[in-house]
Structure 1
Amino acid sequence: MNAIVLASTVHFQRFGNPTTQTTRVTIERAVEENSAIRPILSAEVHLVLVTFLTAACLFVGTMGIVSNVLVILTYSKLGFSETINISYLVLAISDLCSSVIRCWGAICFVFIVTEANVPFDPSSLPVPTSFYPAQGFEKTTAFVTAFIAFERCLCVQFPLHVKTIVTKRKTVYSIVIIFLLGFLPSNLIHMVYPLKWVFSPSKNRTILAMVPLETPVRYILQRALLAYYGTVLHFTALIAVWICTIFLAVGLKKKASIRKENLMHPNNGTSDKQKERRVIKTVFLLAITYLACSIPAAATMLVPQFEPEFSTTRGLARISRVCHMLSLLITQLNSSTNLFIFLHTGSKFRRTCFALFIK
């Protein structure tokens, strides 16, 4: 069974998808009949779900592109007198890149594109040009979110010294390091996915495709990248955001009890307190949204450790594939919601954003 699945996978990677949906289903049925393990989902249902999730990824990605462009334009107008504005801008840039790359991957799976008479194989492109780069930007987004939450923790715990602890230079350096650790390693995948001219039987012509090298280096590199992004960075960022959010909540509770003792001066620094509350509310919403959107992806990574059948080469292969696509869609939502959070919590951001549409 594994040999059959591997052969069909190599066929898809090298020569593109079949020309019609009927052909796709027919091939999958043939694989089923020669397999010892019967998938739970039928080929027809699996194809419908994959098609729907691909279209949903394309829609959410487009929404993420539009919303993050608006965030970037708005913060460019607001300026960067405060260090947190720099972090917000970088967060939007990372989310924009992630949305663009995810859209590109979804487009490569669209039937119209795969059936088009183009001189390259769209089905060979998503893994090296979409999956791994998107992982890099999504983990960059995760650590920028953790950095923003950490910065707010410092503001709450050390309000008198935070301007010397968190400076613009330190913020820029931290963000550069996050980008280097998050996005840069994903480019290593291109070392084992070179462009080659191959003959496509379905198109009866020679086309350009990214053909994976059949060498041990490729498998080692892929496993290393999957472990790095799927386990190390994913759970490190998840834990970091959780810890920073908890410390931020505890710090706010302490600060609230201290403020009760200063009721004799209710108007002292009221505007600054309101501004601080809005910023902290924004950070809370960003952190909670990230945590909510990351839990499904974490679950799909942990389940195969306890249920070996939940993999791409066993009886639950199609359910596994659908669950992974659904978790990626939910993760992608995290890159599309920042605009709505900023509009909800920031009156100045809201006015500046609306002014972009007014001459």
Structure 2
Amino acid sequence: MAGANDNNTGQVLTTTCTLFPNLNDQTVMTYKTIGPSKLISDELLSIISVVVKSALYQIFSAFGMTTNFLNLVVFRKMGFRDTVNVSLFALSVSDFCSLASLFWMGICYNPIFADSEISIDSRGIQYITGGWPKFYFTRVSGLITAYVTFERCLCTTMPLKVKSIVTTKRVLVVVICLYLTVAMSIAPIYVSTHIVWKWYPNKNRTQLGLVFSANRETINSITFILNGVLCNGSFFFVVLCTVVLVTNLKKSMQWKKTFTRQKDKKGGKENKASKMVTLVAVVFISCLFPGSVFSLAMYAVPEMNAGESQQNLFFALASLIHITEAFNASINTFVYLQMSSKYMQTFRQLF
């Protein structure tokens, strides 16, 4: 856990339970002598850390930042008269920032950088400069995905009223509120954490590192509850809305086959948009499902947590979950190219 060397194991456990935005296995493992029944050895964990955190983090994040930058350019060119474009533009912003944070985390964990003669404890500093920002933008992306699927549910359940209910300005207000809501939920972390010059005896030098306030454990507990509700709540809401969307799309297709042979261009456009959002939601569910299961497993198996007997397994799985989240944030461009003819046309015009 980043910066954990100033606190006891219980505090480390509380912080890492906030869905591991701030992992630093090298620091946490100095806390506690772990028993012989480790499922993942220290040597294997070191290899996983180098391969995943120092290599895959940067590969996936660099690729994802590129695809999301393309999304931003294309949606800006398409304009924001369509409310879906506003939401998907905001989603691309949060995905881009999440991946940029992961890229920085990869740099901080890279031994070439972390063990060099730099004046910062990069593995500790990433706690609030990389880990929590990534956590923030990933949760914003989850809430925006939940909102987009909800909006498409409205389009399929009350198509005649949705245009008067969902406007560009209202969508913009909703998006801003989502960003602010998640920001307020993690703000306490920055109140209890500070960057100062510290003496590191094991390095025999002074570096910029983290210190924590005395009430850190209480603050982390509150933050965990807030973010646990937002994280799992948005996930299950996306699942619910996706089920409704798929059901309504099937009914719509069946109705058209039964009662009309004429092409409904407007209805066809709405169905295409709904299918695209459904696919985005399915990718989201598939990629974030392991993280949701893992967060529940941390309760069911207390030993699988930082500072406990299976902390190596915890760190290994958590780093892999970062990769699945990065994949989710990177792949939407290909969904848009496949499902949206207007996006494809604009993309070809620009590139």
Q: TM bucket by the smaller chain?
A: 0.7 to 0.9
Distance 2:91 2:60 in 1: 17
Q: Given that residues 249 and 271 in structure 2 are in contact (C-alpha distance below 8 angstroms), is that contact kept between their aligned partners in structure 1?
A: no
Could you tell me how far 1:178 is from its partner in structure 2? 0.9
* TM-score in terms of structure 2 length: 0.87
Q: Is 1:255 the counterpart of 2:252 in the alignment?
A: yes
Give the aligned partner of residue 220 of structure 1. 218
Distance 2:37 2:222 in 1: 31
Q: Given that residues 156 and 245 in structure 2 are in contact (C-alpha distance below 8 angstroms), is that contact kept between their aligned partners in structure 1?
A: yes
After superposition, what is the alpha-carbon deviation per residue over 1:24-74, rounded to whole angstroms, capped at 9, x for unaligned?
Answer: 99x96x988x55554232221110011111121221111111111100000
Q: Is 1:297 the counterpart of 2:267 in the alignment?
A: no
Q: Given that residues 31 and 307 in structure 2 are in contact (C-alpha distance below 8 angstroms), is that contact kept between their aligned partners in structure 1?
A: no
Structure 1's 198 and 123: CA in aligned 2 closer, same or farther, altered over 3 A? same
Give the aligned partner of residue 112 of structure 1. 112
Distance 2:201 2:49 in 1: 24
Give the aligned partner of residue 267 of structure 1. 262
User: What is the correspondence of 1:334-349 to structure 2 with a 5 Å cutoff?
Assistant: 334-349=328-343
After superposition, what is the alpha-carbon deviation per residue over 1:303-322, rounded to whole angstroms, capped at 9, x for unaligned?
Answer: 12222221222221101111
User: What is the correspondence of 1:1-359 to structure 2 with a 5 Å cutoff?
Assistant: 35-36=34-35, 38-54=37-53, 55-213=55-213, 215=214, 217-229=215-227, 231-263=228-260, 266-269=261-264, 271-357=265-351
Whichever of the two has the greater Rg, that structure is 1
Q: Given that residues 74 and 352 in structure 1 are in contact (C-alpha distance below 8 angstroms), is that contact kept between their aligned partners in structure 2?
A: yes
For the residue of structure 2 that corresponds to 1:211, the secondary structure is strand
Q: What letter is aligned with 1:267?
A: Q
Q: What letter is aligned with 2:275?
A: K
Structure 1's 7 and 318: CA in aligned 2 closer, same or farther, altered over 3 A? farther
Q: Given that residues 136 and 182 in structure 1 are in contact (C-alpha distance below 8 angstroms), is that contact kept between their aligned partners in structure 2?
A: yes
For the residue of structure 1 that corresponds to 2:212, the secondary structure is coil
Percent identity over the alignment is 25
Q: Given that residues 136 and 184 in structure 1 are in contact (C-alpha distance below 8 angstroms), is that contact kept between their aligned partners in structure 2?
A: no
Q: Given that residues 67 and 339 in structure 1 are in contact (C-alpha distance below 8 angstroms), is that contact kept between their aligned partners in structure 2?
A: yes
Q: What letter is aligned with 2:62?
A: T
Distance 1:8 1:224 in 2: 18
Q: Given that residues 37 and 314 in structure 1 are in contact (C-alpha distance below 8 angstroms), is that contact kept between their aligned partners in structure 2?
A: no
Structure 1's 311 and 261: CA in aligned 2 closer, same or farther, altered over 3 A? same
Could you tell me how far 1:342 is from its partner in structure 2? 0.7
Q: What letter is aligned with 1:218?
A: R
After superposition, what is the alpha-carbon deviation per residue over 1:145-198, rounded to whole angstroms, capped at 9, x for unaligned?
Answer: 111111111111111111101111211111111111123432331212112111
Q: Given that residues 140 and 182 in structure 1 are in contact (C-alpha distance below 8 angstroms), is that contact kept between their aligned partners in structure 2?
A: yes
For the residue of structure 2 that corresponds to 1:308, the secondary structure is coil
Unaligned stretches of 5+ residues in structure 1: 14-23
For the residue of structure 2 that corresponds to 1:183, the secondary structure is helix
Structure 1 segments of 4 or more deviating over 4 A? 5-10, 34-38
Q: Given that residues 124 and 211 in structure 1 are in contact (C-alpha distance below 8 angstroms), is that contact kept between their aligned partners in structure 2?
A: no
For the residue of structure 2 that corresponds to 1:334, the secondary structure is helix
* TM-score in terms of structure 1 length: 0.85
Q: What letter is aligned with 2:63?
A: M
Q: Given that residues 135 and 186 in structure 1 are in contact (C-alpha distance below 8 angstroms), is that contact kept between their aligned partners in structure 2?
A: no
Q: What letter is aligned with 1:109?
A: Y
Q: What letter is aligned with 1:277?
A: N
Q: Given that residues 40 and 315 in structure 1 are in contact (C-alpha distance below 8 angstroms), is that contact kept between their aligned partners in structure 2?
A: no
Give the aligned partner of residue 20 of structure 2. none
Distance 2:35 2:162 in 1: 63
After superposition, what is the alpha-carbon deviation per residue over 1:284-327, rounded to whole angstroms, capped at 9, x for unaligned?
Answer: 11100110011110111111222222122222110111111111
Q: What letter is aligned with 1:256?
A: M
Distance 1:119 1:9 in 2: 25
Distance 2:35 2:253 in 1: 63
Q: What letter is aligned with 1:276?
A: E
Distance 1:206 1:31 in 2: 21
Q: What letter is aligned with 2:254?
A: S
Q: What letter is aligned with 2:130?
A: S
Paired residues, what number? 332
